[in-house]
Amino acid sequence: MSYDVVVIGAGPGGYVAAIRAAQLGLKTAVVEKWDTLGGTCLNVGCIPSKALLVSSEKFDEARHHLGHHGVKVGEVSLDLAALMSHKTKVVKDLTGGIEFLFKKNKITWLKGLGRITAPGALEVVGKDGSVQTVAAKNIIIATGSDVTPLPGVTIDEQRIVSSTGALKLPEVPKKLVVVGAGVIGLELGSVWKRLGAEVTVVEFLDRILPGMDLELAKSAQKLLAKQGLTFRLSTKVTAAVPNATGVALTLEPSKGGTAETIDADYVLVAIGRRPYTEGLGLETVGIETDGRGRIKTDKHFQTKVPGIYAIGDVIEGPMLAHKAEDEGVVVAEIIAGQSGHINYDAIPGIVYTSPEIATVGKSEEQLKEAGIAYKAGKFPFSANGRARAMAAADGFVKVLADAKTDRVLGVHILGPDAGHLIAEIGLAMEFGASAEDIARTCHAHPTLSEAVKEAALAVDGRAVHV
Ligand code: FAD
Ligand code: NAD
């Protein structure tokens, strides 16, 4: 078997690269070891977690918030099995959708574990042990990432779970301890809190969501705490021992000190993800990785070995599905002789809590550290008519613009539908917009997006509605 392009891994990086390569007329195959396509994102990541977030939000709304709108409901109860089967159906439909797209684009799915044996050559080992030899003019590694383990804690996916286990707990925990106040911890912690669990989030650092704008993270923490999440910051978990009823966890201050033991019936370990390159044969061809195990590439995603490329979670940059997808498009275009480009300064990041937390560009801390003079404009959702009508007026929009040129450098939003609102800013930043450009753009009334316009006006001290 011989192809122009063979992609290893069918996550958002790999499947998108394959579709784009096929669109460009290249004979393309994808090696995938799982039984379904779509990778982490569709099977055990973005999609199932968002299904649970939406369903649990509806449950929470019916229980606690419909009354604001004069909607009276009787006793609200949870059907966890139905909630889970909605998630399973969404995953099944979407992973099946990728299979359809492969057929439509005449992409071959080589089922099994891919291993690079030489430049331009791979082996695919099927579940039955059969071995296929494949020749490829170009190989794209898109093998993604896997859970980072926590020393002293064994993930059994029963009582001590990773995100994968936390997406399918058989019951609502009475007490759930989440280790890590990052994106997964806050999203899945919120899911189980809304469904009735008592949730404690243990975080090593003295803040949640490291890397995000600090003011945004602090405000988000306050709102999540108001919803009932308990935060134990500057704390580390040193041991987790399963027992008859659950798990006994040993905690210590991060800097060391007196240890204490707390009980939980489930523990979610969410302290990050690491690149996945096991069994790939990198050493056989001399592909280099950095200190964090990420495959090193040049600006065109090519590894040290000509004709072997890498994209997505397995290389540097934020571990996000849309980043992987964009790299997939660009690498296919580069292989086809076109030029591709990604602006890493304009990749949005969203935490799908309630309210959502969305950010693009630089944080205030990053601008200060880089010595860039900036002006900040802020606008609260409490002054936005639509947010008030929705009874969802917590949070704010913050626009950071260059003090001299007014160019937008970063925008940070905590509030209803922040994930959709940030898209406007991504586009604005791609076009090198100034805060004034956003402020002078007509935004429909009454919409949440008016808060973005007002924050842009506030950069120049002329917000209208505060
Ligand atoms: P992956 O999606 O990890 O896919 C890699 C694929 O390669 C897998 O299918 C794997 O089986 C296959 N593979 C690996 N090695 C081999 C081999 N040797 N041979 C054959 N196949 C192989 N990102 C967002 O942008 N938004 C979100 O809302 C979001 N939510 C998330 C929620 C959770 C719980 C998790 C865990 C992640 C979430 N992410 C989210 C991150 C997102 O899932 C990843 O950034 C994205 O999936 C990375 O895509 P990828 O193509 O690089 O790799
Ligand atoms: P993360 O990097 O977002 O957060 C990990 C958290 O764990 C950090 O706050 C870190 O300080 C903390 N931590 C690390 N070691 C610790 C320890 N020993 N004890 C206590 N806390 C510790 O990682 P994650 O939440 O596991 O998510 C992994 C990746 O998946 C992220 O890079 C993210 O980009 C991606 N993801 C994205 C989304 C989204 O876009 N909505 C959702 C889920 C996951």
Provide long-range contacts, Cβ within 8 A and 24+ apart, for 438-445. 438/399, 438/408, 445/385
Give catalytic status of residue 64 as yes or no: no
Domain 2-147+274-342 has CATH 3.40.50.300: no
Tens of pLDDT, residue by residue over 263-303, are 999 999 999 999 999 999 999 999 999 999 999 999 999 99
What was the pLDDT predicted at 278? 95
Buried b (16+ CB within 10 A) or exposed e, 417-426: bbbebbebbb
Ligand 2 within 6 A of CB of 273: yes
DSSP 312-330: GGGSSS---HHHHHHHHHH
Provide the pairing of β-strand 198-202 with 230-232: parallel
> How is domain 346-459 classified at the architecture level of CATH?
2-Layer Sandwich (3.30)
What was the pLDDT predicted at 152? 87
**Dihedral of CA 391/379/397/364: which sign?**
negative
Q: Any residues with CB less than 8 A from the CB of 246 and at least 6 apart, and which? A: 159, 175, 263, 264, 265, 266
Backbone φ, ψ for residue 382 (5° rounding): -65, -20
Question: Domain limits of the chain?
Answer: 2-147+274-342, 160-271, 346-459
Tell me if 2-147+274-342 shares its fold with 160-271.
Answer: yes
CA triple 347-351-353, angle to 5 deg: 160
Stretches where the chain sits below pLDDT 50 are: none
Ligand 1 within 6 A of CB of 142: yes
Q: Which of 218, 273, 347, 351 to mutate to test the pocket of ligand 2 (most atoms within 8 A of CB)?
A: 273
Which residue, judged by its Cα, is nearest atom 29 of ligand 1? 46
33: number of Cβ within 10 Å: 18
Is residue 106 packed enough to be buried (19+ CB in 10 Å), middle (13-18) or exposed (0-12)? exposed
What was the pLDDT predicted at 245? 87
Alpha-carbon distance 327 to 7, whole Å? 13
Alpha-carbon distance 227 to 190, whole Å? 9
Among candidates 294, 310, 255, 250, which has minimal Cα distance to 116? Answer: 310
**What DSSP character marks residue 212?**
S
Does residue 355 have a cis bond before it (omega within 30 degrees)? yes
Q: Is the pTM of this model over 0.85?
A: yes
Ligand 2 within 6 A of CB of 13: no
Alpha-carbon distance 396 to 418, whole Å? 9
Alpha-carbon distance 3 to 284, whole Å? 21
Specify the CATH number of the domain 160-271: 3.50.50.60
Ligand 1 within 6 A of CB of 221: no
